Structure 1
Amino acid sequence: MAMNDSTPNEANGTGVEPIDRDTLATEYFSLLPYEPYPVQEEALLAYFTNDQGVLVCAPTGTGKTLIAEAAVYEALRTGRQMYYTTPLIALTDQKLDELRESAVRWGFSADQVGLVTGNRRVNADAPVLVVVAEILLNRLLNHETFDFSKVTSVVMDEFHSFNDPERGIVWELTLGLLPKHVRTLLLSATVGNAVDFTSWLYRSHQRRLQLVRGDQRKVPLQYEWVSDEIINDFAEKIAAGDETQRRTPALMFCFSRSQCWTTAEMLKGKKLIDKERQAQLSDYLDAADMSTGAGPKLKQILMRGVGVHHAGVLPKYRRMVEELFQRKLLAFCVCTETLAAGINLPARSVILPSLLKGPRDKKKLVDTASAQQIFGRAGRPQYDDRGFVYALAHEDDVKIHRWREKYDSIPEDTKDPGLMKAKKQLKKKMPKRRAGESYWTDQQFTQLQEADAADLSSRGQLPWRLLAYLLGRDAAVQPIRDLVGRRLLTPKKIEEAQRDLNRMLITLWSAGFIELDPKPVLARGPSQPANSNAAQPKKPYDPPATTGLFGEILDQMRDPNSDDAKSTEENADPALIESRGYEVDDYRPVTAAPTERLDRLVHLRSINPLFGVYLADQLAIADPNERIAALESVLEVPGTVARHTRMPSLDDMPAGTLATTRLDPQLLTMGLATPEELGAKSGDDDEDVVNRGFGRVMFDEPRVWPLTIGEKILRLFQNEYPRVHNVKVVPVWIVGDLLNYGGDFNKYVTTKKLQKEEGILLRHCLRMILFLDEMANVPPLETTVETWEDWLDDLADTLSESCRKVDPQTTDEILSKGLEPVDELIAAGRRCSR
C-alpha cells in the first residue's frame, strides 16, 4: 500500500522515510494487476537490484510500460523525482494519462505526474514528469537551473529511436550527461547489437546496464498471407460474427495519406459493424460538429464503422477517431505508419494492403523496423489470446490467383468438349501483371517477419545550435572533441566526425560567430607554396571565400534530394574540397571564443540556425509578401501538399523589393543564376532583368522556372556557406494564400480542395506562429527591434485567430502553455538537427 503521510527525514531531505529497494520491489510486485510475464519479471528484478539501470530489449506488445512504471512508483514512494522520456509529442499525452491513472491506483495524487514538451506544460513542478527527449537534454545542459540531485531515475521509452538519423543524437548526448546516481531504464524493441551497445555505454560513459532480452510476446502473433481476397471483401469477412469470432477491431496500415482515404472509400457498402454499434455511432456523430473541411466526408466513413487517422486529418477529428476506436465502435482504423510509433489503439488485428512504400515509380519494401513495429500493434493482452497480422496480395495477383484456381480445376487431360472449350477460353482471358506496376510477395512478407533487428549506432551530425550553445558556455574545444570521440561509431567514422567538427568550427569562425585560437590554416593546393599557408584574419562580417563547390552542384540545386545532387556531394574528392579551403585533418583549435553574434544562433530551433540568421538579415528590406514567402518556405511541407500550394507566378505576384534591388543583382553578378531563372523572357538582357518585375518564363525546351524568393536566398547562402549542407527550402504559399482569404481557414481549404490535407495545413500555420516567435529574437541588422517584432506579432496574432477558429483545443495547447525557460536545443523538425 502506498504511503503519503510519512514524516520528514533529515537524511534524505525528501519528507519521506528511507526505504530499501527490496521493500520497494516487494511493494511494487504486490500492486501489479496481474502476474508478470517472464521478461517483465526479469526486467523488474534487474531494475530493483542494479545500481545503474537496465536495457530491456523486447518486441512491441510485451508490456514494457509495466516495467517502466516501477521507476515511477519508486519516485512517488520515496518522495524523489524521475523523468519519463518519449521520442514523440504524440506519445507524451498518452503516457501522461496512463501514469496518472497508475498513480491514483497506487494511492497517490494524479497531480504528482506532470508533462513538459516544447509547447505544453501540465503540473510542470510534479515529481514525475513526462517529457520529450529534447527537454531532458536541455535540462541536463542547464544544470545551474535544473537540480538533478533528487532525481532517482530516467526512463527512455522507444529507445531504438537512438537510431533516428535526425534526432538520435538527443538520446546519445542525454546518456552521456546523466549524473552517475541516476538509474536509467531503456526500453526498446529488439536490438541486433545489444551486447555491444551496453559495452560501448560502459566504455564511453562508465554506465553499466544490465541487459534483459525477450523474444516472446504476451499475446503471440499469427501471420497470414491473403492471396485470394481484395481489401473490401476481406474486411467484411473478418468483421463478421460475434465478439469471439470476428477479428476486429483492426488497424489497416497504408503508406500514404491519399491511400488511406482511397482504402476507406473502398469499404463503402460493406457490413462491418452490428446494429447496436451503428446506433451508438449515429448518436455520437449527430452530436458532433463535423460540418467543415473534411468533416462531412469523414462523418460518412465513420458511420460505416471505419476511421481515418493520419497527419492530414485535423487533430480534433483524429481525437474523435481515437475515442471511437477505443470504445470499440469502429471495426477498422485506416492509418499511416506513424500511428505504430505513436498513439496506442489496441487492436485484435493488423492489416497491410501493401508492403511497398514510396513514390509510384520508386516503391520499395517497407523497412524491417517499421514493419515489425506495425506487426506489434496486433493483439490486446486484456482481450485476445493472439494477434492477427494480415498482408494482402496486390489486386492483380488476386485476379491471377482466382484465374489459376479456375483454370487448374479443369483437368489438362479432359476429353469433355465443353470443358476443353472452357479451358481454352480461360487461357485467352488470363490476367497479367501490368507494366510499370510494383508488386510484392508472400516471401517478402516472411522476410519482414524473420529479419534480424537493426544495430544501434550513432547517427547524425553534432547540431549547429547545440555546438553554438556549448561554445557560449565554455570556449574550450577539447570537451566537445571528447564528446565526438565517444560516439558509437567505427574508428574511421570517428575520424570523419572529428573533421566535421573542424569544418563546423571553421565555418562559425569564417562567419564571425567565434574567434578560434589558433586560427585555421589554408590547405595547400598542388601548386601552392608552403609560405601561403597562413590564414588571413577576417572581419567579423566578411563572408568566407567561395570554394567553387557550389558551381559543381548548381544544376541540382533546384532538387537537393535528386540522385545526382547526392552523388555530387557524397562522391566529391575530399582532398580536392579541402585544397580549396582550410586544413581540417590536423587542425586542433584550443579555444573557440564566442563573439556577440553567436547568441543569435541559439534562439533558432525550427531550422538550421546559420540559415535562419542569414535569412533574417535579408528580410529587413523585403516587402510583406516576400517575408511571408521566405519564412514559410523553410518549414518543411510534404511534397504531396507542396504541389498543390505552390508560389504564385511572377505575373500574379511580381518580384518584390528584396528580389529586385538586392538578390537578383547579386545572383547575376556572382554567376549563381541565369537571367531565365530570374524571370527573363527570351531576348531580355541582363540589365532589363535586374531593373523590372518579371513575367513567368515558359520555354518549350528546356523549361526554366523562375526562382522563388526562398530559393534565391538559399543559393546565396550556399555560396557563402559551402560547408553547410542539408539546408533546403520548399516554396509554398499557404500562409500567404490563407491571408488572401481573410484568414478564413475553412474557406481556404474548401476553395483549394485541400480538405484531405487540412491537418497538415493547420500544423504548418501553427509551426509558422512558433517560428515567428523564434525569429523575433534575431532582428535583421538593417532594422530596429520594434519594427521587426511588430510585424511578426501582427502576423502571429492573425494566424492564431484563424487556427483557433478551426481547432481551438489544439491551438491553445500548442500556443498558450509557454515554453521551457531555455528552449530545447534540438527541435523535432527534420533540418534543425543539422
Structure 2
Amino acid sequence: MHVRDLPLPGRILEHYESQGIETLYPPQVAAVEAGVTEGERLVAAIPTASGKTFIAELAMLTAEGPTLYIVPLRALAREKYETFAELPGVSVGISTGDFDSTDEDLADNDIVVATAEKVDSAIRTGAPWIESLACVVVDEVHLLGSDGRGPTLEVTLATLQRRAPGLQIVALSATVDNPEDIADWLDADLVETTWRPVSLRTGVYADGSVTFDDDSALGIDVEPTGPDDDDATEATAALIADAVADGGQCLAFVRSRREAESLATRLADESLADDSLAGASPNDCAELADEVSEIGATETGSRLADVVESGVAFHHAGVRSGHRALVESAFREKRLKVICATPTLAAGVNVPARRVVIRDLKRYTGEKMTWLPVLEVHQMCGRAGRPHLDPYGEAILVNDGDESDTEELWERYVTAEAEAVESKLAARDALRTHVLSVVA
C-alpha cells in the first residue's frame, strides 16, 4: 500500500514523501484495513520500530475533531510533541509536569500530548477540551498492568469511554502477552504481528562469548580481571567497544542512576570518540559537551559534559530534562556512540541502537534483589536495530555467573513470553484514591 492511497490532505502526503515514506509497512497496512483511518478502535501489538507512531498519526489526522495522545513518561511526551509539531498545518499542545498549558490553550489544538496523570487531572477538574475529543491514542498500553501508573491509566480510559461512547481509541504496545484481552476491554479490533523492518537476535554472554537465539555465536575479548574487579562491567565494556569498533552505536542498561554514571565514566576512559563512527568525532563530541554545559551548570550536568567529550552519555531520571533531550537527539543524530541508562529509557523513547547490552537483570525492591519483569527486558531488547541504518539489531544479556545462570537467563528472558497485562485497580491504595476522586 502506498502513502498516496491514504485519505490524507495533500500537504501531509507531501510531508511523508519528503521523509522518504512512500509505502507502508505490513503492520501499518493491517491497521488501515482494520479501519484506523475510518474511526474504528484498534489495538496494535507490534514490535518496536514497526511503525506504531505512523499508525497513531493516521488515526489522529483522519479524526473528525481534536485528538489526544497519552504517554507514560514526560520524556516520551516531549519527543512525540516534537514529532507531531512537524506535521504541516497541525497545531499541537503538550501537558506534562515540565510543560503545561492552560485549558484554553489546549482546546485550540488539533493534537494534545499528555501524560496519563495529567489527563486524569483534567477529567476530574472538568477541563472542557476533554469533552470535545474525537480520538485518543494510548502509547505503551501494556502499562495498564503496572502497579504505579496502571490504575490511573485504566480509570482514565474507562472514564473517557463512559463519557464518549463513540470515541475512537487506538492503543499501542510492542510487548504484551494478552493483547486480545485489552482489545476486548476497549471493544477494539486487534492487529498483532512479530514483523520487524530490521531483524533482531537476542543472546546471552558468558565466559568470553555470546550465544544467540539464531544459533550464531560471537567471541568477545574481555580483559582478565582481578578478584576485586566487576566481571559483568568488564564484559559490558568489551561488548560495547566491539559494537563501536564495527561502526555501530550501543545502549547499555544498568539498575541504578549511580551505576549508569559509573559505567559511562568507565567507558569514557576508553576514548571511544577516537574510533571511526560518522558524526562522533572528537571535535563534534567537544562541541556537544559545550552544549551540555550551556543548558545548566549542575553537578550532574558537569559530570555528563565530562563523559560526552568521549562520545559517551548517561541517562536517568536525575538528569535535567533539557540534558536528557539533548542526549536523546544527539544519539539519534549519531553524535554519541553510547548511552548508559536505567530501564526507563526503554519505555518508548526513540533511541534505537545497533546493539543493546543489559548488564543488570535484577533490581533492589527495598527488601531484596528481584528479577526484572520479562516485559521490561523485552522493552530494552526492542531498542536494538534502526530501520534504514542498521543491517540487524543485537540484544545481549550479560551473565557473569556459572553455566546454570546462563541457562536460567535463556529460559527466563530469551525464550519466555512477556507477562500478561492484568488490572491493578483492585489494590487497596489505588482503589481508595480513585473512588475518592470520583466522589469528590
Name the CA distance, whole Å, in 2 between partners of 1:197 and 1:23: 27
The reply to whether residue 251 of structure 1 matches residue 275 of structure 2 is no
Match of 2:242 in 1: 237
Match of 2:203 in 1: 224
Cα 1:326–1:53 shift into 2, 3 Å: same
AA paired with 2:110? P
Match of 1:152 in 2: 134
Which structure 2 residues correspond to residues 440-589 of structure 1 after superposition, within 5 A? 440-460=405-425, 461=427, 462-472=430-440
Q: Assess if the C-alpha contact under 8 Å between 2:70 and 2:137 holds in 1.
A: yes
Name the CA distance, whole Å, in 2 between partners of 1:294 and 1:91: 21
AA paired with 2:80? K
Equivalent position to 1:170, from 152, 155, 158: 152
Name the CA distance, whole Å, in 2 between partners of 1:357 and 1:114: 36
The reply to whether residue 282 of structure 1 matches residue 261 of structure 2 is no
Secondary structure, aligned partner of 1:85? strand
The reply to whether residue 215 of structure 1 matches residue 194 of structure 2 is yes
Equivalent position to 2:308, from 299, 302, 305: 302
Shift of 1:458: 1.5
Match of 1:42 in 2: 30
Name the CA distance, whole Å, in 1 between partners of 2:287 and 2:97: 37
Name the CA distance, whole Å, in 2 between partners of 1:175 and 1:295: 38
Q: Assess if the C-alpha contact under 8 Å between 1:355 and 1:445 holds in 2.
A: no
Shift of 1:339: 0.7
Shift of 1:332: 0.8
Match of 2:319 in 1: 313
AA paired with 1:220? S
Higher relative contact order (CA 8 A, sep 6+): 2
Equivalent position to 1:82, from 61, 67, 71: 67
Q: Assess if the C-alpha contact under 8 Å between 1:25 and 1:48 holds in 2.
A: no
Q: Assess if the C-alpha contact under 8 Å between 2:92 and 2:113 holds in 1.
A: yes
Match of 1:355 in 2: 361
The reply to whether residue 92 of structure 1 matches residue 77 of structure 2 is yes
Shift of 1:359: 6.8
Cα 1:459–1:286 shift into 2, 3 Å: closer
Name the CA distance, whole Å, in 2 between partners of 1:210 and 1:268: 48
AA paired with 1:174? T
AA paired with 2:99? R
Match of 1:369 in 2: 375
Match of 2:331 in 1: 325
Equivalent position to 1:189, from 171, 174, 184: 174
Secondary structure, aligned partner of 2:7? helix
Name the CA distance, whole Å, in 2 between partners of 1:126 and 1:286: 35
Name the CA distance, whole Å, in 2 between partners of 1:323 and 1:216: 26
Bigger Rg over Cα: 1
Q: Assess if the C-alpha contact under 8 Å between 2:44 and 2:172 holds in 1.
A: yes
Name the CA distance, whole Å, in 1 between partners of 2:147 and 2:439: 24
1 or 2, which has the higher strand percentage? 2
Name the CA distance, whole Å, in 1 between partners of 2:177 and 2:250: 29
**Among the aligned pairs, what percent are the same residue?**
28
Which structure 2 residues correspond to residues 573-612 of structure 1 after superposition, within 5 A? none
Match of 2:264 in 1: 264
Decide which moves more: 455-464 or 149-158.
455-464
Shift of 1:361: 9.1
Shift of 1:249: 1.2
Q: Assess if the C-alpha contact under 8 Å between 1:250 and 1:332 holds in 2.
A: yes
Secondary structure, aligned partner of 2:156? helix
User: 1:326-345 deviations in whole A, cap 9, x for unaligned?
Assistant: 33122111110011115322
Cα 1:335–1:64 shift into 2, 3 Å: same
Shift of 1:81: 0.8
Secondary structure, aligned partner of 1:294? helix
Match of 2:59 in 1: 71
Match of 1:129 in 2: 112
Cα 1:311–1:444 shift into 2, 3 Å: same
Q: Assess if the C-alpha contact under 8 Å between 2:40 and 2:168 holds in 1.
A: yes
Q: Assess if the C-alpha contact under 8 Å between 1:90 and 1:342 holds in 2.
A: no
Name the CA distance, whole Å, in 2 between partners of 1:49 and 1:93: 25
User: 1:616-651 deviations in whole A, cap 9, x for unaligned?
Assistant: xxxxxxxxxxxxxxxxxxxxxxxxxxxxxxxxxxxx
Cα 1:446–1:385 shift into 2, 3 Å: farther
Q: Assess if the C-alpha contact under 8 Å between 1:47 and 1:185 holds in 2.
A: no
User: 1:60-114 deviations in whole A, cap 9, x for unaligned?
Assistant: 2322111000122114xx5x2111111222211111001111x22xxx14xx111
Shift of 1:293: 1.6
Equivalent position to 1:120, from 96, 99, 108: 99
Match of 1:713 in 2: none
Q: Assess if the C-alpha contact under 8 Å between 1:25 and 1:45 holds in 2.
A: no
Name the CA distance, whole Å, in 2 between partners of 1:156 and 1:359: 28
Give the TM-score, by structure 1 length.
0.43
Name the CA distance, whole Å, in 2 between partners of 1:132 and 1:455: 23
Cα 1:269–1:119 shift into 2, 3 Å: closer
Give the TM-score, by structure 2 length.
0.79
Q: Assess if the C-alpha contact under 8 Å between 1:52 and 1:181 holds in 2.
A: no
Cα 1:151–1:299 shift into 2, 3 Å: closer
Secondary structure, aligned partner of 1:130? strand
Q: Assess if the C-alpha contact under 8 Å between 1:61 and 1:217 holds in 2.
A: yes
Cα 1:137–1:233 shift into 2, 3 Å: closer
Secondary structure, aligned partner of 1:95? helix
Q: Assess if the C-alpha contact under 8 Å between 1:50 and 1:210 holds in 2.
A: no
Match of 1:767 in 2: none
Q: Assess if the C-alpha contact under 8 Å between 2:243 and 2:249 holds in 1.
A: no
Shift of 1:303: 1.7
Shift of 1:280: 1.3
Name the CA distance, whole Å, in 2 between partners of 1:192 and 1:303: 41
Name the CA distance, whole Å, in 2 between partners of 1:359 and 1:149: 40
Cα 1:376–1:197 shift into 2, 3 Å: same
Q: Assess if the C-alpha contact under 8 Å between 1:83 and 1:130 holds in 2.
A: yes
Name the CA distance, whole Å, in 2 between partners of 1:338 and 1:23: 35
Name the CA distance, whole Å, in 2 between partners of 1:174 and 1:319: 28
User: 1:640-667 deviations in whole A, cap 9, x for unaligned?
Assistant: xxxxxxxxxxxxxxxxxxxxxxxxxxxx
Name the CA distance, whole Å, in 1 between partners of 2:134 and 2:366: 50
Which runs of 5 or more structure 1 residues have no equivalent in the other structure? Answer: 1-21, 202-206, 402-438, 473-834
Cα 1:262–1:471 shift into 2, 3 Å: closer
Cα 1:25–1:471 shift into 2, 3 Å: same
User: 1:195-249 deviations in whole A, cap 9, x for unaligned?
Assistant: 33433x2xxxxx5211111112221212233321323333322211xxxx42x21
Equivalent position to 2:143, from 134, 146, 161: 161
Q: Assess if the C-alpha contact under 8 Å between 2:37 and 2:58 holds in 1.
A: no
Which runs of 5 or more structure 2 residues have no equivalent in the other structure? Answer: 209-221, 223-234
Cα 1:89–1:49 shift into 2, 3 Å: closer
Secondary structure, aligned partner of 1:239? helix
Q: Assess if the C-alpha contact under 8 Å between 2:175 and 2:379 holds in 1.
A: no
